[in-house]
Amino acid sequence: MFPDFLMDYLPSFLFIFLRTSIFMSFMPFFSSKNLPLQFKVGIILSFSIALSPLFKIKVSFADLPFFIVQEVLFGVVIGMAARAIFIAIEMAGQLISNVMGLSIATSFNPEIGQSTEIARFYSLTAMLLFLIVDAHHEVIYILAKSYEVLKPGHILTDNLIDRAIVGGSNLFILALKFSVPVVLILFILNIILGFLYKAAPQMNVFFIGYPIFIFLGFFSMLLSLPFVINALLDSFVLVREEISRILSLSGG
């Protein structure tokens, strides 16, 4: 049998471990498949053990399944909110690759499966910025704060589902925002090539346009990189605000 003082902390530890493990499975960098499993488990256990004495959580056995469902849903929603920027930037890279005609050149990305090199470049850029500006520390702080704001059994799941739907729709807006400088330039090039084909139908537009698409695509990516970096930095601030908003709505 466990000592009495351990039994007092056990419910707190289990619920903190549950929410943390689900959140970490979505959180950028920590959810990377390139990190050893032992490292991830060690981080989650250390975090849970450190927070367990700070929060007193008591639940009845009858309410346990309901509380677990709430914790799982809450962990998934805030985890996806933290990861939304990286999903959007990956989508932007895929969109740019499609427009440039490079989508056929895919490679295996351990994070999402098949991915283009442009999408991987944008994802790595976003990951490095995320770590450089210490955004991961802010997100972890908000996670720790969530145990103080939202105790198990006091989570409003209706608001969580509504916020998850809104967040999912915002992914496409973010992806378009990141990719629009390159896509717009290549769209204009498409129109120009269409006029050239009408003016000279005997000209092979594919062989002429394909190298131009690649060159102009990479050149516009280089020019738009400062814009993308600034947009990512602004988005990281929005991530913290979005998670804070989820905490507020989930608490009623």
Quick check: is 36 in a domain? no
Quick check: is 4 in a domain? no
Say if residue 190's pLDDT is above 60: yes
Collapse the DSSP code of 109 into the 3-class scheme (helix H, G, I; strand E, B; otherwise coil) and give the result: strand
Q: Which helix (H) or strand (E) holds 225?
A: helix 205-250
Quick check: is 157 in a domain? yes
Quick check: is 29 in a domain? no
- Condensed to tens digits (0 to 9), the pLDDT of residues 45-83 reads 888 888 777 777 676 666 677 777 877 888 788 888 888
- Condensed to tens digits (0 to 9), the pLDDT of residues 199-233 reads 777 767 667 777 888 888 888 888 888 888 888 88
Tokens of 162: 């509504």
Our count of domains for the chain comes to: 1
Say if residue 88's pLDDT is above 80: yes
- Condensed to tens digits (0 to 9), the pLDDT of residues 129-185 reads 888 888 877 777 877 777 777 776 667 767 677 777 777 777 888 888 888 888 888
| DSSP secondary structure, 111-151, as one string | TTEEEEHHHHHHHHHHHHHHHHTTHHHHHHHHHHHHHHH--
Say if residue 111's pLDDT is above 60: no
Quick check: is 67 in a domain? no
Quick check: is 47 in a domain? no
Q: pTM score, two decimals? A: 0.76
The confidence band for 103, taking pLDDT boundaries of 50, 70 and 90, is low
Say if residue 110's pLDDT is above 70: no
**Residue range(s) defining the domain that contains residue 199:** 72-250
The predicted pLDDT at position 108 comes to 45
The predicted pLDDT at position 240 comes to 79
